[in-house]
Copies of this chain bind each other. A is one copy, B any other.
Amino acid sequence: MTTIGILGAGQLGRMLGQAALPLGVTCRFLDPAADPPAAAVGRCITAAFDDALAQQAFAAGCQALTWEFENVSLAAVETLSALVPMRPGAQALAAKQDRLDEKRFFNDLGIATAPFAPVSSREELADAVASIGLPAVLKTRRDGYDGKGQMVLREPADLDRAWATLGAKPLILEGFIPFLRECSLLAVRGLDGEIRCWSLVENEHRHGILHRSLAPAPHAWVLQAQAETAARAVLERLDYVGVLAIEFFQHEDRLLANEFAPRVHNSGHWTIEGAVTSQFSNHIRAVAGLPLGVTAMRGHAAMINVIGAWPILADLLAIPGTQVHDYGKAPRPGRKLGHVTVVHEDASRLADLIAAIEALVVAAAPERALPRVASGQ
């Protein structure tokens, strides 16, 4: 019996546990939260990630460890890595600690990004704006997520205010590219080095949170190879094992890498129904040292997040072909509670189904209907 220990027990852990069960793989979880979503699929140890006793209990008897959540301390990951193989390895987490390092990491691998510059003083901010131009986005180099720790600079007068708000921390200025769309690629690398990629996905964010993913992304036939080349370079440089997501902006016919997530990712949830093998199953396969499954698509797929409040379940299920994934979390504004997937061979028919699903999720949480926020960068 293979046992995999997973740091974090949120919905990603829950879906990893669901994918592991048919493979005969048992998952166990370490998470500071009581009664987390993954408790339905495996034993959860409730403790801080850096609790030394809990780490011992968590690691004991596991053949491999992984994480579902990258806001784990590098120290905790390194300590655990000394006990049981950690897949992906600590170097994948280390490469994600700092936005500036992450952009440089992409560029070093020949992966294009938007222009960027480090900012550690008011003078450097002025220099960076002079070189990159406006609009631009000023971000903290560490600890930002879901639109927090960043401000858009539209005119010279914005610089002082932004500096006053964010200047206490190391920053990065990123050029604001007029992108056509946001995309992501999910890829997996096995313990033997084999790499497989799923179709490029188009993502729509609202209020800084993923609203919807569509696979394949428009123009995937042009962009898929670019995205896969980038993913392969990242996976190989990090000697990565497991699933990784790279988020891109599409600018004309080019993909500019924005960031990567060293884990299974919300923009890959469609793979449960929409691909031969899901991101969750392939992550478990990779971490357990098993052969990877086929990542081919099974039609056009859409995933819509359920955020803040649930529509009536029967209404969602009455839309033909919908599959609902409830994470078992108490509703709270802005909280990801679940997602809905629909797959159809006909993209135009799929659009009708998506519209019906979106009407329900927006009616349940009307704040989601607000116009799209343009500061997705």
What is the interface of chain A, defined by CB distance below 8 A to chain B?
18, 21-24, 40-41, 276-277, 281, 285, 289-291, 293-294, 298-299, 313-314, 317-318, 320-326, 328, 338, 343
Contact = CB atoms under 8 A, between A and B. Distances in A.
A298 B344 CA distance: 10
Contact of A276 (B277, B294, B321): B321
A361 B320 CA distance: 37
Given A276-B343, A298-B298, A343-B276, A293 B323 contact: yes
Contacts of A293: 317, 321-323
Which 4 A-B pairs have CB atoms at the shortest separation, nearest pair first? A24-B326, A291-B318, A22-B325, A291-B317
A298 to B, nearest CB: 6
Given A290-B317, A293-B317, A318-B291, A277 B24 contact: no
A326 B294 contact: no
Contacts of A285: 317
A317 B313 CA distance: 35
B22 A277 contact: no
A126 to B, nearest CB: 52
14 contacts: A22-B323, A22-B324, A22-B325, A22-B326, A23-B326, A24-B313, A24-B324, A24-B326, A24-B328, A277-B323, A289-B314, A290-B317, A293-B322, A293-B323
Contacts of A23: 313, 324, 326
Nearest to A310: B24
A164 to B, nearest CB: 46
Contacts of A325: 22
Given A21-B40, A22-B323, A24-B326, A290 B277 contact: no
A41 B276 CA distance: 23
Nearest to A21: B40
Contacts of A314: 289-291
A343 B273 CA distance: 13
Given A23-B324, A24-B328, A285-B317, 17 more contacts: A18-B21, A18-B22, A21-B40, A22-B324, A22-B325, A22-B326, A24-B326, A24-B338, A40-B41, A276-B321, A276-B343, A277-B323, A281-B323, A290-B314, A291-B317, A293-B317, A294-B320
A313 B290 contact: yes
A325 B19 CA distance: 10
A326 B338 CA distance: 26
Contact of A294 (B299, B313, B321, B324): B321
Contacts of A291: 314, 317-318
A373 to B, nearest CB: 29
A159 B57 CA distance: 65
Contacts of A324: 22-24
Contacts of A298: 298-299
A287 B261 CA distance: 39
A318 B23 CA distance: 13
Contacts of A276: 321, 343
A292 to B, nearest CB: 8
Contacts of A24: 313, 324, 326, 328, 338
Contacts of A318: 291
